[in-house]
Each structure stands twice: as C-alpha cells, then as structure tokens.
Chains A and B, each alone.
Chain A
C-alpha cells in the first residue's frame, strides 16, 4: 500500500515537472510542432473549405481577410550572419505585410540539419510548417511517408509556375506531383586561377588531355594542381560525376540515376578511369584522403592552387574580399573528353535545394505564400552574392551580380543538359556506397570496373527494396 502511494506521489511530481516545462515554452508565441498535428485534424476540413472559397484571390488577400492570429515555423540552414540576415529581412517584410502572421525561424547548421534535425523531426511529421529540404533522393522518403504537402493545387491557384524557370521543378516532383519550390540552381565549372596559369606558362585546358598536361606541369613545378578534400565523398563525386556527363552524356545519366538504365556501362567506367588518371598524375593535394573540402579549398582561395572543379557556389568565395583571388578567376566548362557521348554544353548541376511545406501545417495557404516569397527573395539575393543561379525569373541588375558567377552564367547559356550530383539523386544506402567507392578510387583499392559494378549493385538494392 505504502509503496503504491509513494509511486503515485512520484508520478504526480513528474507530471507537475513536465507541466512546468510546458508552461515555460512560452505558450502561444511559438507554434509548437506537437500542437500543430492536433490542430491540423481540427482545421483540416476548415482549411479545405477556405481553399475552395478563395479561388481567384491572391494569397495575400486571403490571409489579410481572415484577421486571425497565425503562427508559422520556418526551418532553414542559414545560422550564419550573411545568409541569416537575408532570411530575417524577408521574414520582417512578410510580417509587415501580414500583421496577423508571426513567423518563427529556426536555423540549424546544414550538416546537422540534413543528418539529424530534419530526419528526426520528419519521422513524426514534426518539422517546421515551411522547411528547407533537398529534392531528388533525399526527400523521397519524406514524400512517401506523407509528411510533405503536395503543391499542385496551390501552384495552380496562384499561377506560380509562370514565374519559375523551365526545368527547375523536376527534382521536387515525385510520381507526377510537385512537392518542392526550387530555391536556386547550380552548375559545375572548372575555376582556374589565371595568374598561376600565366606564371607557370600553362594553357587553360579545353580538353581532358590538356587538363592532364596542365596537372603534370603544375605538379612538376611543385604546385598542387587541383583542389580535392577526399575525406568527404561528395567532393570526389563533383569531379567524377562531371566526367560522367562527358563520357556517358546527360540524358543517359539522368535515366540511369533514376534506375531506368544501368550504372555499370563503359562510359561510367571511363569516367572513373579518368578520375584515376588525374589522381595518378598528382592532380590532388598530398594526403587528400585525410583532408576535408574546406581545408582543401582554402588553399585555392588563398591563391595557392590553380584549379578547382566545383559548383557555382565557388564563385562567392572567388569574389569575396576575404580571399586573395578577386578578379583572377576564369570559369570554364569541364574539359571535353574525346570519344565521350556528352558534349561541352552538358553540365553537372540543377535545382535541388527546395522549400517544402509540412503536410501537417494548419495554414497551408499562408505557408505557401511565405514559401513562395522567401524562395523568390533568396533566389535573387543568393544570385547577387555569387552563391547560386536563380531558379525564378528574377529581375536583377547585372552589375550587382558576382562577376565570377556571371562567367558561369555565360557558360550555361547554351546548356543542353544537366545532371545533378549523384549523391543528391541517389537514395539511402546507395549514397553511402557512392562515397565509399569514390574513396576507393582515390586510395587505389577500387578499380574503375569495380566502381561501376558497385554503383549498379547499390542502385539495384535500393530500388529492389522499394519495389517490394
């Protein structure tokens, strides 16, 4: 008897504790993710009704009319000062226009967000009302689990599609339905430090053979020729993936990565061989397998390494006053590969960074309006600072845009195909396998044939378990 009484007491104590905890969360100000789910069941019907009644209205009006207090949470990956300030300035703008809407933005550092925060929360649909996410393979599990809101009706209603550039929705679309609004586009390019090329009397490479020559010349002169932080698999992938665009062509790669074609083709073996050739010629830093991408690229930004094959985001570093290479960089396409199926106008890249909406949100219309607004806004701002190419039809004074990014933009004017980085295209276990095999190529423990066969096996396993 006594024991039971005591137990009861303790449990009551625990409950009081937990209630105190809830109280201190600040009640209404933050739209607790837990509450959102409950609210959702109540409001679902209501939301649908409103949606039907409000056809033809611009999203702004629909919100302003209702006048009720609305709380939205916005999850993003920009806790840093520069991008964070851009986010906050739009949030303020939006709140000014919609006095009844309060937006709480939650910033988490990218790697932690991708691997930990979003995955854990999405398992129970508890992520923010509007959340930053990656299309392609990454969001597929979330879409399948039903925690992401399909946007087709809303896009139709507000005529959003007309404002987007062609092809930017591809990787936010699953089974014919659109789930993501593209934030930006990227394209891969070879960034060359012209000063170093002149100093060592090297020609900026247009073909792979010239690239190999350049590598050998720089290496002989004691200069590390290219940036690579092979500790991070994706960084090797940037180069190999781009080579595969040359050897196998963009169309084939896109189908193959979707599982419609195989990955163990001659062309893909060839792309791995070319990577190995570069590696054997001494293209990459000593001990690259122990270097992170940042450590390695820093030497490029300091003007010590002549070549960096990377995404358009490299531009912002090239133009930054903090670095030593302002005005010295020439961006060129990945050099042509003789006998390859892909031409010089195919690029690695695409639109993969998306804004998505939580399927459990209580206010899909407001969330949508905010998502569209911030996406457009950031697309423009990121373009200006040289981070990425816009995904929306933006109107930006060219003089405001980062000069190196302008070069990349010139390159892709006649682009006839894009292929995303494989690790954003692939799903789950295949990503890990991709990184492993790439490292194996650099370490010399994996042959190009094994690489291609390994990728195919990993892809089959992932696709196979889905089919079941």
Chain B
C-alpha cells in the first residue's frame, strides 16, 4: 500500500513538469501576440522578437479603436457565428438521430453524402456558390447559410460517433411510457448529447469566426464586414505598422478566448450530468 502511494506521487511530479512544459509551448502564441501588439516597429524588426516590450505602446489599442469600425465588425461576427452555431447544432443533431437510431434503408447512403462534405475545399466551390447565392449576397445569410452547410459534415461525423456509443435504455423506456419520437429526441437525446454538442459548438465557432474567403467575397461594405476581414484589412500590402496589426489581432482573438472558456465550462457541466444519467 505504502509503496504503491509513493510510486503514484513520483509519476505525478514528472507528469506535472511535462504538462507545464507543454502548457508553456501552447500558451506562447498568446503571450507573443499580446507583447507584439505593444511594441513599435523598431523593436519588432530590430531583434526584440520574444521579449517584453521596452516601451509599452498601449497607444496601439487606442489608435485601432479610433481608426477601424471594430465594434461593428465584432457585432457582425457575433451575429453570423451565433446563427451558424444554432442552425448547425439543431440540424446536425436531427440528422444524426435519424441516421443512428431511426430505421430506414438509405441511412448509410445519407451519412456517406454528408461525409463527402468534409472533403470539399472552399476555394473550389467559391465561384459556383457565388452564382447560386446571388440573391442573398450582402446579407448575414450570405455567410450563415454556407457556414452551416460546411460545418454540418464534421458535426454529423462527431455526433454519430457519440450517439452510437450512448446506451438505448432511456429511449426505450420513454417509448414504453408512450412518448412520441419528437419528444424522445428533444427530451432524451438532446440532453444526452450535450457534451458532444458543446464540442461541436466550439469547432463550428472557430471555423466560422476565422473564415475569410467567403467573408470577403459574399458581403461588401462596412455593414456586414466580419472582424477577421477587418483585421486582415489592416495587414495591407504596404502597411508597416506592426504594433497596430498586433493590437487588431489581439482584439479579434479575445472574444474567441472568452467564448471558448464559456463553452468549455458548459462541457464540464454536461459531462458531469452525462455521468449521472448514463
């Protein structure tokens, strides 16, 4: 007993050290981006690449909010990403339920069709999609609709794997109690899938928040510009103010961090719930 304990403790220490090293590597980009946003060109190109700024140029942040319509862009990104996540989660969960639990001949074929979507690259379909989407250009829907379509394959693949692993007893019991299929889906399946829904929400969020090709081609003008495009605008061909760009990038990243932490707490909660019920 005693020997067993010491052994565990020892592994624990080595593990902790290793985990901390990995953490430092993984967090480095955040540190770098933030310090870079507070430096002047001279420092960045003059050799102070990873150190702390010599002069903390907070001014970069003031300038960036003065110059660009960042508030507007952030709002647009939130709207587009929000709708994209909601539609993706609901539609994908419904399709997943039909594919995994319902009994019909074409379910495998339909699953396969969705999976092919993962192989598409957005550059290849940009032009035909532009033509097809023409009536909706310059609206939020011009972005939301394709984002949802391109997010569904990954979402469905993940959800199918997770639903297959869930035991059927709860559903069976509900059916015996006389619940109809829609209630079973909404009241039994959806709560059970919460962990994977949170995971999918995060992934969908990231892909649509950072998307640029469509966001440039499908909406025009300041009104619908997303934050990612707005920040990219600042990285102009002849623009040399790197501190400003760093400030823009930081501002664009903060919401993703906040939302991630928020969604990630949700994962923990639903994980705990899943454990109780399962």
Q: Which residues of A contact B (CB under 8 A)?
A: 17-18, 20-22, 24-26, 30, 32-34, 73, 75, 79-81, 104-112, 116-117, 120-121, 123-124, 126, 128, 294, 298-299, 301-302, 313, 316-317, 320, 322-324
What A residues does B223 contact at CB under 8 A?
26, 30
Whether B240 pairs with A322 at a CB distance below 8 angstroms is yes
Residue B216 CB within 8 A of the other chain: yes
Q: Contact between B131 and A124 (Cβ–Cβ < 8 Å)?
A: yes
Q: Determine which of A24, A80, A116 lies in contact with B217 in the assembled complex, contact meaning CB atoms within 8 Å.
A: A116
Bin the interface of chain B by size: 35 or more
Contact (Cβ within 8 A) A107 B233 = yes
CA distance A104 to B240 in the complex (A): 27
Are the C-beta atoms of A298 and B240 separated by less than 8 Å? Answer: yes
Please pick, from A18, A26, A294, A323, the residue contacting B135 in the complex, using a CB distance under 8 A.
A18
* B41-49, B156-164, B186-194, B268-276 - interface stretch: B41-49
Chain A residues with CB below 8 A from B138, complex form: 25, 30, 32-33
Q: Report the Cα distance A21→B144, complex, angstroms.
A: 10
Given B45, B137, B239, which contacts A33 in the complex, CB threshold below 8 Å?
B137
| B contacts with A: majority SS | helix
Among B136, B141, B217, B222, point to the contact of A121 (Cβ < 8 A). B217
B240 cross-chain contacts in A, Cβ below 8 A: 294, 298, 301, 317, 320, 322-323
- Kindly state whether residue B97 has any CB partner on chain A within 8 Å: no
Assess whether B130 is in contact with A121, with CB atoms less than 8 Å apart: yes
B241 and A322 within 8 A (CB)? yes
For chain B residues 159-186, which have a beta carbon within 8 Å of chain A? none
Residues from chain A with Cβ under 8 Å of B217 in the complex: 116-117, 120-121
Query: Given A21-B139, A323-B41, 7 other A-B contacts at CB below 8 A?
Result: A21-B142, A22-B136, A79-B234, A111-B237, A112-B232, A116-B217, A123-B130
Question: What is the distance, in angstroms, from B156's C-beta to the closest C-beta of chain A?
Answer: 18
Judging by beta carbons under 8 Å apart, are A108 and B233 in contact? yes
In the complex, the answer to whether B127 meets A18 with C-beta atoms within 8 Å is no
**Is the CB–CB distance between A80 and B127 below 8 Å?**
no
* CA gap between A83 and B233 in the complex, in Å: 12
Closest beta carbon of chain B to A448's beta carbon, Å: 29
The answer to whether B233 and A124 have CB atoms under 8 Å apart is: no
Across the interface, which residues of B come within 8 angstroms of A30, CB to CB? 138, 221, 223
Kindly state whether residue B236 has any CB partner on chain A within 8 Å: yes
Q: Are B135 and A109 in contact (CB under 8 A)?
A: no
Q: Is the CB of B216 within 8 A of A79?
A: no
**Is the C-beta of B140 less than 8 angstroms from some C-beta in chain A?**
yes
**Which chain A positions have C-beta within 8 A of B212?**
112
* B238 adjacent to chain A (CB < 8 Å): yes
One of B46, B134, B141, B234 near A126 (C-beta < 8 A) = B134
CA of A78 to CA of B126 in the docked complex: distance in angstroms? 24
Chain B residue contacts of A32, Cβ below 8 A: 137-138
For A81, the chain B residues whose CB sits under 8 A away are: 67-68
Nearest residue (CB) in A for B135 is A34
A-B contact pairs, 16 of them (CB 8 A): A18-B141, A21-B140, A22-B136, A34-B137, A105-B221, A109-B235, A111-B237, A116-B216, A117-B217, A120-B127, A121-B130, A124-B134, A128-B220, A294-B240, A317-B240, A322-B41
Residue of A nearest to B45 (CB): A298
Shortest distance in angstroms between B87's beta carbon and chain A's nearest beta carbon?
10
Interface centre among B126, B127, B240 (most CB of A within 10 A): B240
* Docked-complex contact B216 and A108, CB < 8 angstroms: yes
Instruction: Report how far A374 CA is from B142 CA in the complex, Å.
Output: 30
Q: Which of B41, B230, B235 contacts A298 (CB 8 A)?
A: B41
Which residues of chain B in 193-228 are interfacial with respect to chain A, using CB atoms and an 8 Å cutoff?
212-213, 216-217, 220-223
